[in-house]
Every structure is written in C-alpha cells, then in structure tokens.
Amino acid sequence: MKIAVVLGTRPEAIKMAPIVLKLKDHSSLTPLLCATGQHREMLQPVLELFELEPTVNFDVMKPNQSLNSLMAVLLQHLDAFFTEHEPDLVLVQGDTMTALCGALAAFYKHIPVGHVEAGLRTGDLYSPWPEEAHRVLIGRVCQLHFAPTTTSEQHLLRESTPPDSIFVTGNTVIDALLQVSEKVDNEAITIEGFPDEIMKGDQPLVLITGHRRESFGGGLASICRAIKRLARQFPNVYFVYPVHLNPNVRGPVNEFLNDPNDPCDNIILMEPLSYLPFVTMLKRSTLLLTDSGGIQEEAPGLGKPVLVTREKTERTEAVDAGTVILVGTDEEKIVAETSRLLTDQDAYDQMAQAINPYGDGQSAGRIIQICQEFLQKNRQA
C-alpha cells in the first residue's frame, strides 16, 4: 500500500520526517516522498539531515511568484505525480500552499487525504494569512484528521467533522525535535558565522525569527525598533536573528538593525539556519521572540519561554499552558515583556517550567498505525 507524503517547506519537512522514517521501516507500507520545492534553499538541508531522498522534486518556486501562479503550477505537477504513482493515501501537513494543493489534487483524483496537524484555528481567515484559509479548506476534503491536541479536536468537531475521522496524536514536531536534540547532545555542532565563544558562554541570548506576511511593513519595523531598544537596554544580552530570505523581511531588518551609522554590537544578524544548527541555537537560547508556529511548539519542549509577535495564534494550548505569551507587533509590549523575562527570575521560571502540551515524541507511530488500519479497512470494503 502506497502512501504519498507531500511537502515543500522546511517546517513541513521537519514535521513529516518522523512519519517518512517510520514508513520506510514498515513492511506493508511504501512511502512516496513528493517534494515540491516551495522553499527550495531551506528544504534540502532538512531532507539531508534526516537522510530522506524524494521520489520527485518539482522545484516550483520562482522569484516574485504570486500565490495564484504557485497554486496553478503545484496542482499541475501534483496531478501528474498522482496519475503516475497511484498512491492509496496522501498525507499533507499544516497550512502551506503545498499542503492545500496536495489535498486538492488528491481529492480531485478520489485519493483519500490525511491531514497532519489538523484542526488549528484562529477563527480569522486573514490572521495568519493565507494559512488560516488553507487549513480550513484542507479540512473539508480530508478523510483522516490528525489533531495534535484535544483543543484542535474540538475545533474540528465544531465544524461538523465526523468524529470517527479525528485522531488526537500529538505533534510530530516533538518527535523530530527529540531526535535532533539527542544528536546535538552527542556531537560538537558548530554554527558557521556565529562566534564560538558566545555559543560556549553563559550570557543571556534572545533568539529571534520573523517571516509572517501579515507583519510585512509597519509590523516588522515595529518589531525591529523594539529589538534595537532592548539591545541598548541590555548590553550584556545577545540578540541573535537568523534573517529569513524573503526581501520583505531582509529590507527592514537591515534598515533598522544593521545601520552602520548606529551600530549595536550585541545584535547578531545571520543567514537562515538549517534545522540542526537551529536546534543547537535553540538549546543555547534564553528565550524566543518569534512569529513562527513551529517554534511555539518546539521551544517549550526545551524549557524556553516564547514571546509571539503575532496578534493571534492558532496554538492557544501553549498560551493556556503558560509557555507562550502573545505580544503582537506592538513595540512597547515587546520591550516590556522581554525586559520582564530578562530581569524577573520568577516570571521566567514560571514559563520555562510549564508543561509542553504538544506531545511525547510518539506521534508518528500513532499516525502510521491509523493509516494502516484505514487502508486495510478500505481494501476489505
């Protein structure tokens, strides 16, 4: 029985890698790994880290490509791939354009779809944009919904999703994180372009990421102003920012944080990190300032508080658990909450020691078992 795993971005590859690895070891299931190349430069290092070789790689991303044109080319390629390989089941993850097109292309060919990380919702189609709309649409064409938490399960039930199609599995990102964290502990990992004395030191380090479309423009400028103020306020704290490749991110980051006329020695801008160095940096960090969805799940697993630079999050479990605080793009709030965590040990410990609600590292095995039972039932029908 053939299961096609469709992925195209770095987060998809990280979260699907444990599933593909489990499939490769399964006697009755054959994985077909379809890489769309939606994030070409950032995808390949993850595939290499987990030693995954795609069955096909579309390499679809082009400069300044609109969402509509990306969807058109993805559907065309995926249709051809499904026609050639005839999978029995298609697995997609999350809320990317790759995931949406994988689900639609399979639906149009009457191939069952399983959605990994199903049921995340903010209730606002424009926040995050376009991801919220993507995951809602994916949910309407799936037969298997792998919800990471009971909160996600409840979202699906409120949308009249059949209860027997929903499975609470935990999040596969914890599976991947634990695998790579063990590798970091057992190997001497160096990060190109990052001073070794800082990595081995004990000075506080704030790790920053940002790439969401809804923050482009004024929001990202506000975040950067806050970082600059914090760097001045805390000269003994390092603020490390691996800068996303998108020019809408690089422009304001360089304008505000790399101004040769107003240098700040404790701000370190870097190229994007592949997953192994990123986990290394995550383990070294004191706290996170991010708009990433995956980091809201990963960082608490390592006891790192997270300040989320978004107005809304679909990962409300982390907010409820106390591992995450929403600060939005408000400069004053970012400065205030970061300062509090850097100066108030009790506030820091309360977040760092909270229980991560996203799983135990066994999610991939649960998903594979459910897929096998579903396919066997279909064959007997």
Contact 20, 52 (CB under 8 A): yes
Catalytic residue among 131, 132, 175, 297: 131
- The Cα 283–Cα 302 span in angstroms is 7
Catalytic residue among 59, 79, 85, 211: 211
pLDDT at 226: 96
The answer to whether residue 95 is catalytic is yes
Considering only the C-alpha atoms of the chain, give the largest distance between any 2 of them, rounded to a whole number of Å: 71
Catalytic residue among 10, 115, 244, 315: 244
Dihedral pair phi/psi, residue 98, rounded to 5°: -60, -45
Instruction: Tell me the one-letter amino acid at 249.
Output: V
- The Cα 83–Cα 329 span in angstroms is 45
The answer to whether residue 213 is catalytic is yes
Catalytic residue among 12, 77, 88, 95: 95
Q: Position of tokens 């792998």?
A: 146
pLDDT at 40: 74
Q: Which residue ranges form the domains of the chain, and what is each CATH number?
A: 2-171+360-380 (3.40.50.2000), 189-352 (3.40.50.2000)
Catalytic residue among 26, 59, 85, 213: 213
Residue ranges of the chain whose pLDDT lies below 50: none
The answer to whether residue 344 is catalytic is no
For the chain, count helices (H), then strands (E). Answer: 16, 13
Catalytic residue among 88, 117, 214, 314: 117
The answer to whether residue 117 is catalytic is yes
pLDDT at 217: 67
- Cα within 13 Å of Cα(278), Cβ side: 25
Coil/strand/helix, residue 267: strand
pLDDT at 127: 85
Name residues whose C-beta falls within 8 Å of residue 171's C-beta, 6 or more positions apart in sequence. 15, 117, 148, 149, 297, 358, 359, 363
- The Cα 11–Cα 280 span in angstroms is 17
